[in-house]
Amino acid sequence: MKTVLRITLPDNFRRADFLSFHQRDTQMLAERWDEKNLFKGIMWDSLPACLQFSFGTGKQLQVSLDIDSGRKKIDEEKTKLRLRQLARHMLGLNQSTSEFEAFAANNADLQNLVINQSGLRVPQSASPFEALSWAITGQQISLGAAISLRRKLIQRAGMLHSSGIICYPGPEQILTLNHTVLRECSFSQTKATTLLNLAQLIQTNELPMQHWLDNYLTGQALAAEDIYNQLIKVRGIGPWTIHYALLRGFGWLDGSLHGDVAVRRNLQRLLTAQKKFTGDQKISEQQTQEWLAGFSPWRALVAAHLWAMQKSDGY
C-alpha cells in the first residue's frame, strides 16, 4: 500500500542538513538518495516499508510511504495522519527555531554563531529506537567504525522491502538475533547486551518509546525527565547516550550534550575566537556544562549549532 502527501517547507529550510544526516552510509543499504530524493527503509507496524522524501522546486515536498502490507488491511486515513506527523518530525518542522533565533540575536555569545546558520533544525531519526540504538553503537568509537557496525546490523537483520532497500530493524527484529550474532557483527559484548536488553524492554512496553513519541507528536509535552529516568536504569546507557537519543529521536532541544567531544572542541574554538578562553588546556565537560546551562530550554539546539561549525565532526 502506498500513501502520498505534500508538505510546504518554510523559506529557510536547510535541505542539505536533512539529507546529509541520512547519507552517512555511502553503501546505501537502508538509505538511498539522488539529487532530489531520499529513500529510507523503515519498519512500519512490523512491516517493511520505504519512506521517500521528494524535493521539488521551491518549497514543495512530496512524502510517500510504500508498505509491504501483503494481505494485511491498512487504515489509509490513520496511516496518512501518522505519516504527516512523522515527516514533519523528521524534518524538524516542530522545533522552536524561530523563537531560539530571536533569543540568540540578542545574546553576545550566540549572535554570530546562529546568524551564520540561520534556519538550522535538528533532523530526526525515523524512530526513537533508531536514534538510541545508533547512539549505543557509536559509543567510544569513530564515526566510520559506527557506520560499519550499523551496516552489519542492518544486513544481519535482513528486513528487505520489495523495492530492494533494507529496512533499519526495530526492537522486534533485534530480538531475533542473539549475543553470538551481534558479536559476529563486531559489536562488543557490552554493546550487544545493552542493545538486546533495550529491545526487550521496548518490546514488553516497559519502555513505551512509541507511546512517548506519539503523545509528543499529538501535542502533549514530552516526558523527557521520565524517559531519562527510565533509560538511565539500563546498564550500558549513560547520560550522553540518553541526551543524544532525546535530541535525535524525540526532538527535545534542552538536553545537555556537554559530554560530546565535538561540542567541547567547537565551543573552545568559538570562545577562543571571542577571546573568552585562553591557554593550552582543553575546555572541560564541567565548563561546557556550565556554559550550556545558560541557554535552557535550547541547550541541545545550541550544541547542534556547535556541531554545524564543522560538519565533519559529526553533525
What is the mean predicted confidence (pLDDT) over 102-125? Answer: 91
pTM, full prediction = 0.91
What is the residue whose three cell numbers read 541547550?
A: 299
Indicate the pLDDT class of residue 158, thresholds 50, 70 and 90: very high
* Residue 188: DSSP 8-state: -
Rounded to 5 degrees, φ, ψ at 200 are -65, -45
Rounded to 5 degrees, φ, ψ at 32 are -130, 155
CA-wise closest residue to 119 among 18, 34, 266, 39: 18
Chain mean pLDDT for the chain? 92
157 vs 35, more confident: 157
pLDDT tens-digit series, residues 185-199: 999 999 999 999 999
Q: How far apart are CA 253 and CA 298, in angstroms?
A: 5
Rg of the chain, C-alpha, whole Å: 19
Q: What angle do CA 198, 202, 203 make, to 5 degrees?
A: 115
Is-contact 171 199, C-beta < 8 A? yes
Neighbours of 275 (CB within 10 A): 7
The bridge status of strand 31-33 relative to strand 2-8 is unpaired
44 strand-pairing partners: 47
pLDDT greater than 70 at residue 279: no
pLDDT greater than 50 at residue 259: yes
What Cα–Cα distance (Å) separates residue 98 from each residue in 114, 118, 164? 11, 9, 39
Q: What is the pLDDT of residue 314?
A: 36
pLDDT tens-digit series, residues 221-255: 899 999 999 999 999 999 999 999 999 999 999 99
CA-wise closest residue to 171 among 124, 211, 204, 135: 204
